[in-house]
Amino acid sequence: MKLENQLNDQKIVDLAVRRSGETVDGAFGASIRREGNKPPAANEQVMGLVARIIVDESLPFYVCTLDGTVMHVNDHYSALDKALGEVTLAPGEAVLAGRFQVPSLKPVIDDVLASDTTVRAEEIVRIGGHERIFLGRHSPVRNERGDVVAIAGTYEDVTAQVRGIEEANRTQSRFQDFARASSDWFFECDADMRIRSLSDRFTAIVGQPASLFIGSRFEQFGRFEENLEGRLDGAHSIKARKPFREQLFIIAEPSGGELKFHLSAVPVFDRQSGDFRGYRGVGMDVTARYKQAAEADYIRQNLEALLKELTRKNLALDEATVQATSALRAKNEFLAAMSHELRTPLNAVIGFAEAFEHQTFGQLDKSYLSYATDIRKSGQHLLGLINDILDVAVIESGGLSLSVDDLPLEQVFAKAVQMNKEAAVKKSLDTNALQIKTDALIRADDRRTTQIFVNLLSNAIKFTPEAGAIGAEVTLDAAKGHVCLTVWDSGIGIAENHMEHVFEKFHQVTDHIYSRKQEGTGLGLHISRELARKMGGDITLTSVEGEGSRFTVTLPVATGVNENADFI
C-alpha cells in the first residue's frame, strides 16, 4: 500500500514495503509511527544496558524498548538494511532507530514476555523476485532487579540452510513416495540379520507393534517358503551377501490366519572398509495375491478333473456313436432288404387283384369284384407304406441316388396334380388354383420332385374338408437363385406347437377330428423335406389353425432360366 495519510505530521510507513512507498510486499505487515518528526526521549536505562549485552557482533543486532521503540542497531544491521535496499526487517530502517515506535515488533515483544525466554522467528523478504530468509532470535533484557526492560535480537541469513532442508525434505518425500508405490513397509537388519528398524506401516498391516520384532531375526517370527515361481533363494542370497527379490515370507496372525509378504533387499557395506553391515529392504503384502492363486489352482484342478471326466465320457460316447451308427446301418440295410422282399410278392398280389377287377380271366360275381377292389386298395396302401420306409432307410444310409436334370416346373407339377385329381374330385374340392403357368426350369430329379409334389397335394386333400379349396402359387427368388412353389389349402391348419414337429419321422397331428380319419406312417413330409434338401432346396411351412396351411418348396433355378418369365 502507498502512504495515504499525512495528518498532524504523523506518518505510517509499512516496513515490508519499498521505502519509496510503492507496492506492499506483504511479508511482514510491520509499520512504524513517526510523531511530529521528533525522536522520543531516550531511555537511559535501556541504553545503559546496551553496552553490557553480550552478543555475537558478527550478526545484525538491535535493541528495542517494551513499547516497540528501536533504541539501538549495530553496524551489521545497518549494512544489512542498506543491502536489502527497498525492503526492511521487522525492526525497521536503521536510520530511524531511537526515534519511532515500530508496531510490527509488538507481537515479538508479547511472545518474549509471555515465554520469558528467547523467541525464534523467521522473516522472509523478497528482493529482485527472490526470497531471502532471516532467522531472528529475540531475547529479553533484564535490569539488575531481573525485570525485563527491553528486547534484544540478532538476525542470521539462513536462506541456504532452509532451502537445503526443503530440498532434502522433497528428496526424502520423493523417496518415500517411490518406496510406498513399490512396497508396503521397510526394514533394516544388522550384520547378524537382526532387525534394527521397521516402518510404521508394518505395524498397521501385522496388527502388532513393530518394537516387538526389533532385535529378532525373521526366522524367529515367521518362515520362508517357495514363492509362486517356485523360488526359495532368499536364505542362499543372504549367506552369499547378495541381493534377493520376492522371497516369500509368512507371518502367523494371533487369530490363526497367515500373512504373506514378498521380501526384497540389498546388502549394505561400509564405504571405507567394505565390511558387511547388514541388509536394507522392503516388504510387499501379497496375501490377497496368493489367496487368488490358490483359488485359481483349485479351479484349475477341478477343471482338469472335469476335463478328464469329459474326455472319458466323450470316448464312451464315441464308442456308443459307433455302435449306434452300426446298428442304424444294419437297421436300414434290414429295412431295405425286407422292403424289397415284401414289394415283390405284394406287386404280384396287386397285379392279380387288378386282373380280377378287369375280369381278365372271365366273368366274376359282383361280390368277388368288390373283394378284388379291396385287395388292390389294401395292397397299394401297404405298398405305399413299404416305399416310405424304404425311402427313409435309403436317405439315412446315404445311399440315395439322384438323377438331376433341367426340368420344366409346370410339367412336373401338372403330373403330380393329375395323380391326385381323382381324390380331390371325390371330396368336391375346388382345384382351379392348381393350374399354374410358368416358364421356369428347375435343376432337380424328376421322379423325386414329383414325389414331393404328390406328398404335399395328398396331404392338402386329406386335411381339407369337403367343398374346400386347394391351390398352388409360383414365385422366383432371383437373389438366391431359387424357384418357390407353394401348395396351399383351406383345411384344418396346424397348431403352432405342432408346426416345428410336422417334418419329424412318424409324426402325425392327431388332436383334430379330421386327422383321426386319415391313415399313413407320418413319413411323407419328412421324406419330402429331405429330398428337397438333397437337391439343394428346402420346404417351409406357414399355417393358421382352422384356416389352412401353406407348404413352400424351394428348388434351384436351372442354368439358362428366363428370370423375366411370367410367374402367374
- Per-residue model confidence as pLDDT tens digits over 519-568: 555 788 988 999 999 999 999 999 999 899 999 999 999 875 444 444 44
Q: What is the SS3 assignment for 487-504?
A: EEECCCCCCHHHHCCCCC
d(C-alpha 460, C-alpha 453), whole Å: 10
Given pLDDT bands bounded at 50, 70 and 90, which one contains residue 506? low
Instruction: Return the closest-CA partner of residue 380 out of 529, 530, 519.
Output: 519
Is residue 393 a contact partner of residue 335, using CB atoms and an 8 Å limit?
yes
pLDDT more than 70, % of the chain: 83
Residues 94-126 have pLDDT tens digits of: 888 877 788 888 999 999 999 999 999 999 988
pLDDT tops 70 at residue 220: yes
Residue 235 in 3-state DSSP? helix
pLDDT tops 90 at residue 456: yes
Strands 130-142 and 148-157: antiparallel
Give the residue, 282 or 339, on which the prediction is more confident: 282
Instruction: Return the closest-CA partner of residue 262 out of 209, 225, 212, 214.
Output: 225
Instruction: Return the closest-CA partner of residue 550 out of 558, 559, 540, 564.
Output: 540
Instruction: Return the closest-CA partner of residue 151 out of 101, 94, 81.
Output: 101
Instruction: Return the closest-CA partner of residue 93 out of 106, 101, 82.
Output: 82
Strands 276-285 and 258-269: antiparallel
d(C-alpha 27, C-alpha 141), whole Å: 27
Concatenated DSSP letters for 305-372? Answer: HHHHHHHHHHHHHHHHHHHHHHHHHHHHHHHHHHHHHHHHHHHHHHHHHHHHHTTTTS---HHHHHHH
Q: Which amino acid is at 211?
A: S
Question: How many degrees, rounded to 5, is the angle at CA 374 between CA 370 and CA 378?
Answer: 170
Residue 223 in 3-state DSSP? strand
d(C-alpha 221, C-alpha 201), whole Å: 17
Give me the long-range contacts of 2-10 (CB less than 8 A, separation at least 24): 8/36, 9/34, 9/35, 9/36, 9/37, 10/34, 10/35, 10/36
* Phi, psi dihedral angles at 167 (to 5 degrees): -65, -40
Q: Which residue has the cell 455302435?
A: 323
The CA–CA distances, whole Å, from 469 to 146, 460, 472, 517, 520 equal 134, 9, 11, 19, 22
Domains of the chain, CATH where assigned: 10-156 (3.30.450.20), 183-285 (3.30.450.20), 301-395 (1.10.287), 403-556 (3.30.565.10)
Burial of 518 (0-12, 13-18, 19+ CB in 10 A): middle
Average pLDDT of span 338-362: 80
Other CB atoms within 10 A of residue 229 CB: 8
As given in the structure block, the three cell numbers for residue 72 are 539501538
Contacts of 525 (CB under 8 A, 6+ apart): 455, 459, 502, 503, 539
Please give the pLDDT value at position 181: 60
Please give the pLDDT value at position 370: 86
Average pLDDT of span 301-311: 93
As given in the structure block, the three cell numbers for residue 388 are 416310405
β-sheet bridge partners, residue 248: 225, 262
Question: Which of 79-89 are b and which e, b meaning 16 or more Cβ less than 10 Å from the residue's Cβ?
Answer: ebbeebeebbb
Given pLDDT bands bounded at 50, 70 and 90, which one contains residue 433? very high
Sign of the CA dihedral 454, 458, 460, 466? positive
Average pLDDT of span 182-211: 85
State the pTM of this model: 0.42
Is residue 278 a contact partner of residue 191, using CB atoms and an 8 Å limit?
yes
Average the pLDDT over each of 207-221, 292-306, 358-372 and give the range with the smallest value.
358-372
Sign of the CA dihedral 465, 438, 419, 341? negative
Q: What is the SS3 assignment for 63-105?
A: EEECCCEEEEECHHHHHHHHHHCCCCCCCCCHHHCCCCECHHH
